Structure 1
Amino acid sequence: MKIAIVLPGGVDRGGEERVIPVFLALIERLARVHEVHVFALHQETAPGTWPLRGATIHNIGEGRTVWRAIGAVIAEHRRAPFQLVQAIFSGHCSFIAVAAATYLRLPSAVHIAGGELVVLHAIDYGGRRTWRGRLREAVVLRLADVVTAASQPILNALRAMGIDARRVPLGVDTVAWPPSTPRSRGEGPAHLVHVASLNRVKDQDTLLRAVAKLVHAGVDVELRMVGVDTLAGEMQRLAQRLGLERHVSFLGFRTQRELRPLLASADLLVMSSLHEAGPLVTLEAAVLGVPTVGTAVGHIAEWSPNAARAVPPGDADALTEAIHSVLDDDGLRMRLAAEAQRRALAEDAEHTASLFLTIYGELAAGSHRASLVSERDG
């Protein structure tokens, strides 16, 4: 089977920086079985093609990206036919995938992986903030043959729109991230880690205020924040105003190889996002035996209260209390870690690939049956 996958990026030719690890894990596993062509919209500014993890990457680049991407899928199909087109992320990716598949009379699949269904006007975030976005999602998601999403909150949002969808979590590659047994806390300060780009939707403002409340209550904590700063130092200045210079360090971007020991050494992963389909780092931390306390989004919401602890987004007081309660009861923290790890290992990268391959088999069989009916009727 020849498969086209449309995604925004995360497939850098070096395979280490500017990548989304779960994308690479999925692509590699699909490419073991089928011929995979990935159409990346904005990995590089100029068009280009390169091999990665057994697949062929077609970078579309800047300038009329949507229409050139549709043309690139069609052109590759004419060289040798695709059997289906998959979008990872909706928005422009799903429009491209469904438009190309419709033109070529192929089945299409869309995986919701970000803020495509969200409306957060206060921070100008979400794919459904405009009438064009709402119309695009309503039409494209109904035209797709299969819609999938990583977590139950996203499935609930889809069903509220009248879209039936399947849960397909994007699991961790346990070859690259070997599991570690959950460990008890040691002496000294509690080690917290936060992994996310510094931006509005991740709401590090709420996290820093929660940590400040912990410090002022006498809790000995150290927070490491890992991620690209898109806010021009705003969070660093907030940490200074809150008196957190000795308690918070901003580490910037870290490769997966650098991130793994940082996560493994933490007592808790702490997240404060206003929206997530995952977050994927919750699964990575769980594989390493580290539980998550965070806002009620994505996997954190669906795992709470037995495999994570979740609080309402934007509520610094509730986040403070949840972090404190887990740090204050190491038996609870260890139980959360064990259950989180069990769930993450049950839904690892192999499981993800298996679910997608099952869907692709169903789509190919349905397409084959449709073609037989068409030929017979003709």
Structure 2
Amino acid sequence: MTTDAQSGDGEKQCQPASEVAIKPGPEKRLRIAVLNRVFSPTGGGAERYSIALVEQLAQRHEIHVFAQQIDHHWPGVTYHRVSAPLVKPRWINQLWYATVTWWATRRGFDVVHSHENTWHGQVQTVHVLPVKYNLFNGRAGLRLAIRWLKVLSSPRLLAYLAMEKSRFSPQLMHRVVVTSPALKAVMNQTYPACDVSVIPPGVALPAVALNRQAARLGLGLTEQGRLLAFVANDYEKKGLSTLLEAMIRLPSDVELAVVGNPSHIERFQKKAVTLGLGERVHFLGHLKDVSPLYEAADVLAHPTTEDTFAMVVLEAMAHGLPVVVSDSRYCGIAGFLKNGVNAVILSSPTDVPQLAVALERILSEPVLREGLARESRHFALQWSWARISQLQALMYEEIAAEAS
């Protein structure tokens, strides 16, 4: 099973979920283990992906979640808290988690689905670039030799590489799932023996739209003026530095609301003050529900330097929010978007003038802004979690059928 369809030249192209035929599944109720160290809606895109699938699939199957941090409750889901005797160093905790969950799920489940770097689990969903790719891609000669010396002297890197090698071993015949065509290309380059499928994230379509002023008031933001939204857990990688520098070039009535990892706030607050933006940038920390921010904002800015998909972009589009996003070399969802039609796509995520011009155009041109908002919502309608979860369910059912 895959969301890929054969094109005329034999290459595989990923389709939106709305274009994939969904066959009704069998009545058999499967017992499924889901592995995710952090099972919380504030954890990040990978966590929200896993949570959304669990919520959908729990309607048809018996779901067991194995996690070290659990901030989620859903009818019919059984939660198993995995101990964490050593949270740091992280690589030791990863080994511990992988070992404990291997022992706990080695029998009694029809399918084990891992969202972590583990050596077990018939389904392995990959949300980030492979460790091997990050370490060795583009290196040759002396640079490659130096990198190998670094790896061989690091128990942390050796552990990560060893787990990853087992995770993507063709002998284990794991079903490898990625979230975008761009990440699939990286996987094919790094682990060519893997059979990789693309199952992109979905989105929960908002049922009722909030009043913009009410949404801003609820978040403690000013009701007047124009508002940019930025949502990320890794502020630097997702481009907040570039966005702050672009803010200097925008009119003084344009403000910015930042949602995400509270541990990054102090550093970027200082930068905002240094740039003279102290009164215009609002750090809101984690929000369990980001919907009010999407309703309050005029534009979502996502000048990321590395994002295998970017669920926040899809979520914003579901609220009819115009988006400015890095191109597909840096952000997976951009491979599905059309520049100037349903998004404004940046050729360089670190180009401050380009970002500032893109934001200024959307904020100052009502026709452009309204067109992007309309097409954003139309695009998001193709990506409901109900349909995406059926793609994953088909894979589970294939695995169970093969085992029986």
The answer to whether the superposition gives a TM-score over 0.5 is: yes
Aligned to 1:269: 300
Preserved contact between residue 105 and residue 112 of structure 2 (Cα < 8 Å): no
> What is the rounded CA distance, in whole Å, between the counterparts of 2:253 and 2:309 in structure 1?
29
> What is the rounded CA distance, in whole Å, between the counterparts of 1:112 and 1:53 in structure 2?
27
Preserved contact between residue 342 and residue 373 of structure 2 (Cα < 8 Å): yes
CA 1:321–1:156: 2 relative to 1, 3 Å: farther
Aligned positions, number? 328
Cα shift at 1:135 = 5.2
Aligned to 1:38: 65
Preserved contact between residue 4 and residue 85 of structure 1 (Cα < 8 Å): yes
CA 1:201–1:331: 2 relative to 1, 3 Å: same
* Partner-residue secondary structure (3-state), 2:312: helix
Cα shift at 1:21 = 3.9
1:62 aligns with one of 84, 93, 98: 84
The answer to which structure, 1 or 2, has the higher relative contact order (CA under 8 A, 6+ apart) is 2
Post-superposition Cα deviations, 1:165-206, rounded to whole Å, max 9, x if no partner, equal 2221221223xx3265999xxx96322111123533223111
Post-superposition Cα deviations, 1:243-277, rounded to whole Å, max 9, x if no partner, equal 11232211222221xx3122112111111322112
> What is the rounded CA distance, in whole Å, between the counterparts of 2:167 and 2:180 in structure 1?
20
> What is the rounded CA distance, in whole Å, between the counterparts of 2:349 and 2:168 in structure 1?
27
CA 1:225–1:166: 2 relative to 1, 3 Å: same
Preserved contact between residue 179 and residue 288 of structure 1 (Cα < 8 Å): no
CA 1:343–1:50: 2 relative to 1, 3 Å: closer
Post-superposition Cα deviations, 1:55-92, rounded to whole Å, max 9, x if no partner, equal 112121313643454344444554xx21121112xxxx
* 1:137-216 → structure 2 map (5 Å cutoff): 137-142=164-169, 143-161=172-190, 162=192, 163-174=194-205, 177-178=206-207, 180=209, 189-197=225-233, 199-215=235-251
Aligned to 2:32: 3
Runs of 4+ in 1 over 6 A off after TM superposition: none
Aligned to 1:303: 337
Determine whether 1:238 maps to 2:265: no
CA 1:225–1:181: 2 relative to 1, 3 Å: closer
Determine whether 1:293 maps to 2:321: no
2:125 aligns with one of 88, 105, 111: 111
Aligned to 1:255: 288
CA 1:155–1:206: 2 relative to 1, 3 Å: same
- Gap regions ≥5 residues in structure 1: 102-107, 122-127, 369-378
* 1:349-368 → structure 2 map (5 Å cutoff): 349-368=385-404
AA aligned opposite 2:124: V
* Partner-residue secondary structure (3-state), 1:57: strand
> What is the rounded CA distance, in whole Å, between the counterparts of 2:72 and 2:389 in structure 1?
22
* Partner-residue secondary structure (3-state), 1:192: strand
The TM-score with structure 2 as length reference comes to 0.72
> What is the rounded CA distance, in whole Å, between the counterparts of 1:261 and 1:51 in structure 2?
22
AA aligned opposite 2:179: A
CA 1:196–1:50: 2 relative to 1, 3 Å: closer
> What is the rounded CA distance, in whole Å, between the counterparts of 2:296 and 2:350 in structure 1?
27
Cα shift at 1:50 = 9.2
RMSD of aligned C-alpha atoms? 3.2
Preserved contact between residue 4 and residue 84 of structure 1 (Cα < 8 Å): yes
Cα shift at 1:294 = 2.4
Question: Which region of structure 1 is more displaced relative to structure 2, 155-164 or 276-285?
Answer: 155-164
* Partner-residue secondary structure (3-state), 1:119: helix
Post-superposition Cα deviations, 1:326-356, rounded to whole Å, max 9, x if no partner, equal 2233322222222222222211111121110
* Partner-residue secondary structure (3-state), 1:27: helix
> What is the rounded CA distance, in whole Å, between the counterparts of 2:125 and 2:200 in structure 1?
10
CA 1:242–1:144: 2 relative to 1, 3 Å: farther
